Amino acid sequence: MASTGRCQHRSAGRGLPPETPKPRLLLLGATYQYTDALHFTGGFIHDRSKVDTVAADGKRTAYYGVVDYYFSKRTDVYAICGLSIAARAH
């Protein structure tokens, strides 16, 4: 199973203040079923915000991984690991 997504929001001209962020979001992820009980998931999220004030512009990227073990249809345990990186756009 894989998922992708892209969202774009434009607020200018819709009655919102001009400093309202205009984010651009990219989501990518995939899940691999190693056995019936053991699943691995990984992916990343990238967000770039653009506002009229240059000092507030920026981008963020997050990477994540999940290991999921199913004991039954209703019971599972999982571990999540993630890394988030934020940078100011120049």
Q: What is the pLDDT of residue 35?
A: 95
Greater confidence, 4 or 30? 30
Task: Check residue 13 and give its pLDDT.
Answer: 47
Distance CA 25, CA 69 (A): 30
Higher pLDDT, 11 or 60: 60
pTM above 0.95, yes or no: no
Residue 2 has phi, psi (to 5 degrees) of: -135, 150
pLDDT of 46 > 60? The answer is yes
Q: Is 56 helix (H, G, I), strand (E, B) or coil?
A: helix
Mean pLDDT, rounded, of the chain: 78
